[in-house]
């Protein structure tokens, strides 16, 4: 089997509101993208890394990996442009994986991890857990954590309709892992959906659920939180300050 890692970093970062792609925002003196790439250590056993970057990566904000040796362990490293939605950006990355696999005549299974650059402090151990579950035969794997808040479903007039039993709930993170074969089927499936139907599918695991395939859950990590708004940036900076003490 071969393994590819797709890192999607092509979002605009509207909710963070820094007027630049989120991956280009500095957490410390280093960007979100650079922190995310710190997970790609010597220990991470992948054959191909695909970076999905904003289309206009050249101006006005340079967005390129800085100070990483991604090509160690003779990994191939490719950069492609993203699209208007996360799903389109993942699609660009998956097409690049498919193309590379054909070019290199990869035989046997190809396992693909899809990771959000916005989860910039995700430890390498989470990537390894997802890869191990794929090696054990899972076709679709997501890292997740128990939900700590009490969650209620409300009706249209903002009245509580139901309290959802918390022990059954998980908050989902990335990297999410799939066989390339299943990802290809998932993207073929969404081609047939309307724009409105496709818009609610916020990750590839949801498409896989739609196909009736089993999605396996492995343990995520608190540090894998997604930087979405400024409070997340504050949290991530505090975590980094803690490591450095």
The site for Mg ion (CB under 5 A) is made up of 11
- DSSP readout, 67-124? S--TTGGG-EEEEEE--SSHHHHHHHHHHHHHHHHHHTT--S-EEEEEEETTSTT--H
User: Which residues contact residue 226 at a Cβ distance below 8 angstroms, ignoring those fewer than 6 apart?
Assistant: 116, 118, 119, 173, 232
Task: Determine the interface stretch with ligand CTP among 101-109, 113-121, 124-132, 208-216 (rule: CB under 6 A).
Answer: 113-121
Please name which of 190, 38, 179, 169 lies closest in space to residue 113, comparing C-alpha atoms. Answer: 179
Residue with smaller CB distance to ligand CTP, 51 or 208? 51
Q: Minimum Å distance from CB 150 to Mg ion?
A: 26
Residue 14 binding ligand CTP, by CB under 6 A:
yes
Residue 118 binding ligand CTP, by CB under 6 A:
yes
Residue with smaller CB distance to ligand CTP, 85 or 128? 85
Task: Determine the interface stretch with ligand CTP among 112-120, 129-137, 149-157, 182-190 (rule: CB under 6 A).
Answer: 112-120
Q: CA–CA separation, 8 vs 23, rounded Å? A: 9
Neighbours of 53 (CB within 10 A): 25
Q: Minimum Å distance from CB 83 to Mg ion?
A: 12
Residue 226 binding ligand CTP, by CB under 6 A:
yes
Residue 26: which of Mg ion, ligand CTP, none does it interact with, CB under 5 to 8 A by kind?
none
Residue 9: which of Mg ion, ligand CTP, none does it interact with, CB under 5 to 8 A by kind?
ligand CTP
Contact (Cβ atoms closer than 8 angstroms) between residue 115 and residue 121: no
Residues that bind ligand CTP (CB under 6 A): 8-15, 22-23, 52, 82-86, 89, 116-118, 226, 228
């Amino acid at each position: 089997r071969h393994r590819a890692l797709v890192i999607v970093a092509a979002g605009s970062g509207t909710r963070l509101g820094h007027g630049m792609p989120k991956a280009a925002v500095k957490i410390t003196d280093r960007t979100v993208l650079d922190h995310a790439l710190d997970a790609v250590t010597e220990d991470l056993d992948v054959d191909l890394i695909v970076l999905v970057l904003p289309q206009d990566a050249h101006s006005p904000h340079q967005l390129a990996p800085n100070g990483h040796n991604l090509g160690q362990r003779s990994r191939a490293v490719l950069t492609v442009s993203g699209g208007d939605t996360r799903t389109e950006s993942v699609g660009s990355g998956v097409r690049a994986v498919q193309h590379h696999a054909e070019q290199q005549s990869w035989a046997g299974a190809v396992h693909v991890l899809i990771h959000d650059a916005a989860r910039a402090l995700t430890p390498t151990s989470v990537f390894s857990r997802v890869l191990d579950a794929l090696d054990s035969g899972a076709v679709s794997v997501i890292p997740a954590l128990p939900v700590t808040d009490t969650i209620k479903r409300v009706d249209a007039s903002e009245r509580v309709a139901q309290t959802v039993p918390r022990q059954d709930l998980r908050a989902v993170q990335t990297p999410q892992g799939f066989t390339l074969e299943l990802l290809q089927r998932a993207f073929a499936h969404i081609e047939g959906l309307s724009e409105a139907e496709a818009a609610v599918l916020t990750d590839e695991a949801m498409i896989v659920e739609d196909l009736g395939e089993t999605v396996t859950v492995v343990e995520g990590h608190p540090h894998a939180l997604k930087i979405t708004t400024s409070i997340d940036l504050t949290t991530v900076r505090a975590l980094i300050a803690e490591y450095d003490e």
